[in-house]
Structure 1
Amino acid sequence: MPARSLYPGLTAHLNELSTLLPAGLPERLRRRLSATTGEAAVLASRIAWEIKQPSQSAAFDRIADLASQESGHPIVQACSYADLGDRQALNRLEQARDVYAEARPQRERAWTRFLDPARMAAYRLSTYVNLGDENRVITEGQAALNALSYETDHKKIAATQPRIGDLNEGITSGRQALEIAQRTESR
């Protein structure tokens, strides 16, 4: 489903979860509810970013971070640490990698499996692009490309190739990504 179709229902779900948290629940239930709230906030952040609402995305990142602290849930922590664009992001990405390495994504909820090595490499690349660190962009760009599948990751390859100077491959992958996006109504 396109992100724009999921967003209203997800934000309504998140609002309902947020109203239940201060209800004085037993600790075990509060931690589970916090983990669920964190998961919903991470998803809402990603969708808000996809539909070009960066301020909403940042607000959901803050909610995810608070919920991850409250729940102690390793996957929610790893996802919430992946917020981008400031120097803290680098530390958080390292923490996320460590937390994710200890988590068991195959035993977690299905959506958490998205934070794989390729996605982590892409987060690192985006962080260095946002920070303007050209030397690390080239290094991290190559690492991100190495972690991707040329059969399925056309969008990511299209975004990465120009950053490291390979415009022709970026254009080719961009065309393939555009065809997929148009066919699936997804960015």
Structure 2
Amino acid sequence: MPADFGHLLLQLRLKARRTQEQQAHAINAVSGRASVTRREINRYEHGENIPTNHTLAHIAVACGLPPGELQREAAAARARRRNLRHREGEETEVLNRRRLMGGALVSAAVATEPWGRLANALGKGAKIDEQSADALSGRARALHISEHHLTAHQLRGQVESHLDAITAALPRAGQHERALTIAAGETAALAGWLAWDLGDHRTARSYYKVTTDCAEVAGHPPLRALALGYASYGADRPNRAVELLAKAAEHVRGPGNGAAAAWIHARHAEETANAGDDTAALRALDRALTAYDFADHTTEQAWVQFMTPARMDALVLSVYGRLGHRQLPQTAASTAQRLGPDLSDSGVVILGDLAHALLQGGDIGHGVHVAHQFAAAAQTRPNTMGRARAAAVAARLPNSERDLAHHLQGLAA
């Protein structure tokens, strides 16, 4: 392939301030598959291979470009490669001369070359098209759903790469700016959650701040609720968490936010119960259950897809356990049935909630049984929330279960 198109791909990567490894991650984040490697990026940039149109579309979106433009330049590059076979000597001499003469000659000729035209268009702020904007927003939604079955370690690189891709696209978003700003906020919030899950709390707070900024720029209150809801898990005391969640509740009012409101109100109930206000906790829980009943889970934000019936049960359990509520046994049985045998990261946390609620509510035999199940699951899929649950469950175990408590304390460390 002529070196010009490879140089264009190199220029696009450098403009995005990525290494070849990071570029591969960004492209794979768009495609949803680990199909491009650093070695392949190197081959593209050195003119050893031309990406397929399918891959070019992913490269374009990762760099904030309309796919059609990059695909047209690739087609021209393929045509030049065919012509090169007939004029190999002359063309090779010209290309080698360009390389030897360096940047001055290339800069003088840049406006006449196909890759130069595209690079100039980028510099002038060429707008991305609807297909690219939809792909970026869709990928942000898919990453939130991926959290159900991928660990924080597995997902973090993909999320950060996609955030880079949206960041590169925003200056050229045009009429799609609001949609991409919301997608950027959702992606930043997920990046913050994963950072917190991996113990990097400072980075998590920075991402939540970015999410809040996106909410203000886009005029999209639910994004602010998302940032506050995630931040509440890292609050240093229950009363602070209650404050954050009370603010979050103000941003999920009205239609279209049922599942988000259910999560925020249930978390508010949980932390209010932690703070010792039983009446307020039950009122908040009633609001959560009502919102959940009226939620349309098919049309709401992707970031509340984690609010499955089992997750709602777990939040109810958490509150009932703290309050010693009479409906605890019935809710525990329903939650265990919903979880099933194959647990995701969130499923492990829910199992920990179940064990803790049963122990706290006084159902010691059942609680110990579930605690053993939780210990096995938490060891297989470790995460920050799981470690927090392990510490809480260990503290509630009877003296006869010292070995299990010691094991759980080890998982919590």
Contact 2:152-2:197 within 8 A present in 1 as well? yes
2:262 to 91, 94, 117: 117
- Given the two structures, how large is their TM-score scaled by the length of structure 2? 0.34
Partners of 1:69 and 1:143 in 2: CA distance: 37
1:76 corresponds in structure 2 to 223
| 2:250 counterpart letter in structure 1 | Q
Q: Which has the higher contact order (CA 8 A, sep 6+)?
A: 1
Task: Return closer, same or farther for 1:58/1:155 CA change in 2, 3 Å cut-off.
Answer: same
- Tell me the percent identity: 17
Per-residue deviation, residues 109-159 of structure 1 (Å, max 9, x unmatched):
xxxx6x573675245424764xxx233599462289769823323133235
Task: Return closer, same or farther for 1:170/1:12 CA change in 2, 3 Å cut-off.
Answer: farther
Which runs of no fewer than 5 residues in structure 2 stay unpaired?
Answer: 1-149, 283-318, 323-327, 340-349, 387-413
1:16 corresponds in structure 2 to 165
Shift in Å, 1:7: 0.7
Q: Which runs of 4+ in 1 moved over 6 A?
A: none
Partners of 1:138 and 1:4 in 2: CA distance: 37
1:46 corresponds in structure 2 to 193
Q: Which moved more, 1:31-40 or 1:70-79?
A: 70-79
Partners of 2:201 and 2:358 in 1: CA distance: 24
1:92 corresponds in structure 2 to 247
| 2:336 counterpart letter in structure 1 | Y
Per-residue deviation, residues 36-94 of structure 1 (Å, max 9, x unmatched):
11111121122112211122221111111111222234543432231312364032232
2:336 aligned with 1:150, yes or no? yes
Contact 2:268-2:281 within 8 A present in 1 as well? no
Partners of 1:119 and 1:30 in 2: CA distance: 27
| 1:142 counterpart letter in structure 2 | Y
- Given the two structures, how large is their TM-score scaled by the length of structure 1? 0.67
Contact 1:158-1:173 within 8 A present in 2 as well? yes
Pairwise CA RMSD: 3.7
Q: Which moved more, 1:166-175 or 1:30-39?
A: 166-175
Q: Secondary structure at the match of 1:40?
A: helix
Partners of 1:116 and 1:174 in 2: CA distance: 30
Shift in Å, 1:34: 0.6
Contact 1:7-1:47 within 8 A present in 2 as well? yes
1:110 corresponds in structure 2 to none
1:102 to 243, 250, 255: 255
